Chains A and B, each alone.
Chain A
Amino acid sequence: MSTASAVPDVLRGRVAWIFGDDFDVDLIIGVENIKYYDPDKLRAVCMRAFDPEFADRVEPGDVVVGGRNFGYGHPHYPPLVALRNLGISAVLAESFSPGFWRGETYNGMPLVTVPGIAAAVRRFDPVEVDWRRASVRLPDGTELAGDPPSDRTVKVLEAGGSLNLLLREHARRAPAGAEG
């Protein structure tokens, strides 16, 4: 099962940023940019308000950490597209706003609910995330255990998002370009 998964069994990366409670993801790229999907545009504005050098410092596999209710508001998709383009592989948060959680799970981004995570890590700490168990191994070797996703959510993430899973389950004919 794991070999076919779009998400590795264990995610290894650094904590690229730690956001606060009730964080509105639109702020990641600035509300004036929430309608853009162009990668160059998004790279140029991503995290500028927090760390102008973020795009150069982030590494593939890094994660971001949030506080309670991450994604509050009307969460648009481009902010997480921008983070994903930079290599962010997961969001670990104390809790997620339902709309954000559903929208980004659809997109295949592992969102791991881990109470205590925001206070337990500092920026650039290396972490290991077993997203199916919602377990995070911290630099000192201790583990924080969160709320594991449902079996359905696991399937969505393994497929690389809801659309891919639905195509496997419900496509009545081979979609152009989906195979091979």
Chain B
Amino acid sequence: MSSTSTGGAAPPDTSDTSGDGTIVDKVLAPAATPGTTRPSGGRTITEKILARAGGLDDVRAGQNHPFRPDHMVAYDFPGYTDLMFKQMHDDFGITEVDDPERYLVFIDHMLSNGDGREQEVHDVTRRWGDFYGIEVHEGRGIGHQVAAELGYALPGKFLIHFDGHISGLGAFGALGWGVRRDLLEAWVSGQIFLDVPASTRFHLTGTFAPGVDNRDLVHEIIARVGADGCAHQVMEFTGPGAEAMSIGRRQGLCGMAMFTGAVSAIFAPDDLALDYARRVARTEFEPLYSDPDAVYAATHAIDLDELRPRVVLPGSARAANTLGVDEAAGTPITKAFIGSCASGRIEDIRAAAEVLRGRRVAPGVQLNVVPTSQVIHRQAEEEGLLDVLRDAGADIAISSCDFCFGYAKPLQDGENCISTGVLNISGRMGSTGADIYMGSAYTVAASAVAGHIADPREVVA
């Protein structure tokens, strides 16, 4: 359906800064102060994507400029899209759009109750799509995943959303930026003013040990750099550990960028990402890469071999709440959840099946599994993984956001849940009187079997 280009510079060899065998942060480059003039030095992939989107030869961190997103993404949600639809039409007098392909709307929230209220919200969205000739993607799964499956998240592209987890599209070498209600600015003007972000590089070596995955990595990073360690920046993942990581793991990692204060996260589009992109691409694309002498605010070296499973205590993902699984082990649970835009991909379901094969979810525990998209659901079914999960006593739900953001109200007062959702603040999953712990799919599955928070390495190692 489209031709692709692999023009532009080849991925730089960044293997010269491998880790030292520890996961202790190591600053490898002098910090640059965002906002200061940087007359020399190469550009990051983020700066290059924004330069292209801004119609400029060059941009530098700190520069404020209007940028034209390739796609302006949203999911329908009351108080957000319904209001923005009305503003676009009534306040701005926009009765047609020149480029409906740039508008990308998903119906992925509020799918599980089937009541009149949710139909009302979705009807507004459907009518809006019909009116402007904008395709509305309904019920295919979580939009941050489906955008990739539908060929919108292509290397070098710039996408915005009101929701910050759009950063997951950085797995493909695209820049996905959550701009909140400023999405309206792009809807009505075609562009959005942004401050060009500096980048912090995370140079990864090694591979994940059995029972450890990208969720453990992102919580390790938050614990190391702090909840604002990459504030207003982009996290850029490089090195052999990044190249060895599967696309799904990259998506999950990038999707959690906001919890370091980052506005996005990105990988260089290597053969793995390019192969995926060529298979699904809706439009032409040209990958971009950071220059070998690109200037970073900081670089941290992380050896994936050294990672251990992490558990986040109820409240938020901040460093003080992030423990090794051994420190939280034994905490009783009644609910367990695998899903969300960060952790319901095929790798997570395989991880759960690895743990649950031949085992049973503990009495008194309910394990809900939500594949991130219908495509992933089908793949998991074909691989026999969902049968393994069902045999173990897990419940499989349709692909949506409803468990993670609490619409499905999976939790009651007094319950403890271990979750792969993106957030564990009070009330997130339906009850302000319940506690939510976070961990990887391995940890959630192992905990569901044990009836309390448990170390998955005891099962899968």
A98 pairs with B227, CB closer than 8 A: no
The residues in A between 15 and 60 inclusive whose CB is less than 8 angstroms from any CB of B are 22, 24, 26, 30-32, 34
Give the residue of A72, A162, A166 whose beta carbon is less than 8 angstroms from that of B92.
Answer: A166
A74 within 8 A of B: yes
Chain A minimum-CB-distance residue to B178? A99
Number of interface residues of A (CB under 8 A): 37
B425 pairs with A175, CB closer than 8 A: no
- Known contacts A150-B64, A176-B90, A178-B91; is-contact A166 B231 (Cβ 8 Å): no
B228 pairs with A150, CB closer than 8 A: no
| B261 contact set on A, CB distance < 8 A | 69, 72, 97-98
A167 within 8 A of B: yes
A22 pairs with B227, CB closer than 8 A: yes
Chain A minimum-CB-distance residue to B264? A98
B64 pairs with A162, CB closer than 8 A: no
| B64 contact set on A, CB distance < 8 A | 150-153
The residues in B between 276 and 330 inclusive whose CB is less than 8 angstroms from any CB of A are 316, 318
Q: Which of B3-11, B105-113, B131-139, B187-195 is the interface stretch?
A: B187-195
Chain A minimum-CB-distance residue to B162? A103
A163 pairs with B227, CB closer than 8 A: no
- Known contacts A95-B228, A97-B231; is-contact A102 B179 (Cβ 8 Å): yes
Give the residue of A34, A69, A173 whose beta carbon is less than 8 angstroms from that of B93.
Answer: A173
- Known contacts A106-B180, A167-B91, A172-B92; is-contact A69 B193 (Cβ 8 Å): no
CB distance from B85 to the nearest CB of A (A): 14
Give the residue of B92, B180, B181, B425 whose beta carbon is less than 8 angstroms from that of A167.
Answer: B92
A162 pairs with B185, CB closer than 8 A: yes
A73 within 8 A of B: yes
Docked pose: A21 CA to B389 CA in angstroms = 41
A171 within 8 A of B: yes
B425 pairs with A73, CB closer than 8 A: yes
B263 within 8 A of A: yes
B258 within 8 A of A: yes
Docked pose: A176 CA to B234 CA in angstroms = 40
A68 within 8 A of B: yes
A171 pairs with B91, CB closer than 8 A: yes
| B188 contact set on A, CB distance < 8 A | 166, 170
Chain A minimum-CB-distance residue to B427? A31
A169 within 8 A of B: yes
B91 pairs with A175, CB closer than 8 A: yes
CB distance from A133 to the nearest CB of B (A): 15
CB distance from B457 to the nearest CB of A (A): 30
B87 within 8 A of A: yes
A169 pairs with B189, CB closer than 8 A: yes
CB distance from A152 to the nearest CB of B (A): 4
CB distance from B132 to the nearest CB of A (A): 14
Docked pose: A162 CA to B180 CA in angstroms = 12
A74 pairs with B423, CB closer than 8 A: yes
Give the residue of B182, B231, B318 whose beta carbon is less than 8 angstroms from that of A102.
Answer: B182
- Known contacts A97-B261, A166-B188; is-contact A73 B182 (Cβ 8 Å): no
Give the residue of B92, B184, B189, B231 whose beta carbon is less than 8 angstroms from that of A69.
Answer: B231
| A171 contact set on B, CB distance < 8 A | 91-93
A-B contact pairs, 27 of them (CB 8 A): A22-B227, A22-B228, A24-B316, A24-B425, A26-B425, A68-B228, A69-B227, A69-B231, A72-B227, A74-B423, A97-B228, A98-B232, A98-B261, A98-B263, A102-B180, A102-B182, A103-B181, A106-B182, A162-B181, A166-B92, A166-B185, A166-B188, A169-B189, A171-B91, A172-B93, A173-B93, A175-B90
Binding site for B on A (CB under 8 A): 22, 24, 26, 30-32, 34, 68-69, 72-74, 95, 97-99, 102-103, 106-107, 147, 150-153, 162-163, 166-167, 169-173, 175-176, 178
Other A-B pairs, 5, CB within 8 Å; known A166-B184, A172-B92: A26-B425, A31-B432, A72-B261, A98-B231, A106-B182
